[in-house]
Chain A
């Protein structure tokens, strides 16, 4: 595997379910990101991890819970979601967190539908 991978690619869940999204990067990067992409809206940054430590949380509801066990893996745990949480969830990674050389690489995304 190369680049940034995400599983599952598609997920349908009820509002009472608990599920997790997984992201893995094979680029040796030290920062990882979760984004939400809804129709007709810009990408919204949800969480940032640098060296496995959460450094950014953009007022995301607690029904989304991130986990970064090591610099290559990132999870997004989901519970009691709402239909408006249906979106494409994108994971990204970068080599450095700050600086002009910061370049993000994205995974293919997980299309989430909440019924």
Chain B
């Protein structure tokens, strides 16, 4: 059974820092891995999707990587800003309607 873990559960950094959020999964037989952002009490906003055949995806200051063999994905945020404060979730997709989510990393960027 797929398990997705995100470490750390919470992170607080000063503005301007580059940071890395981690996502690990136990079953490497995935179709893709998706990163989301969730603001308090709100829905999920899709940030990046990495297909299983890809190694990384970039969007603006965000870069996500995928290493299926080690069961890991990272989300790199460059030059963090207070507006980046949110909870970041990763989800693996293994087909047959199976999206498995991690519990998220709660990020706070201090001005």
Residues of A within 8 A of B (CB): 4, 6, 31, 33, 40-43, 45, 48, 50, 55-56, 88, 90, 92, 97-109, 111
Contact = CB atoms under 8 A, between A and B. Distances in A.
Given A97-B97, A104-B91, 19 more contacts: A31-B97, A40-B103, A42-B101, A42-B102, A43-B101, A50-B97, A90-B44, A98-B96, A98-B97, A99-B31, A100-B32, A102-B32, A103-B32, A104-B99, A106-B43, A106-B44, A108-B42, A108-B43, A109-B43
Interface in B49-92: 49, 51-53, 89, 91
Interface of B: 4, 31-32, 34, 36, 41-46, 49, 51-53, 89, 91, 93, 95-103
Contact of B43 (A48, A55, A107): A107
B97 A103 contact: no
Interface of B, secondary structure class, is strand
A48 B32 CA distance: 18
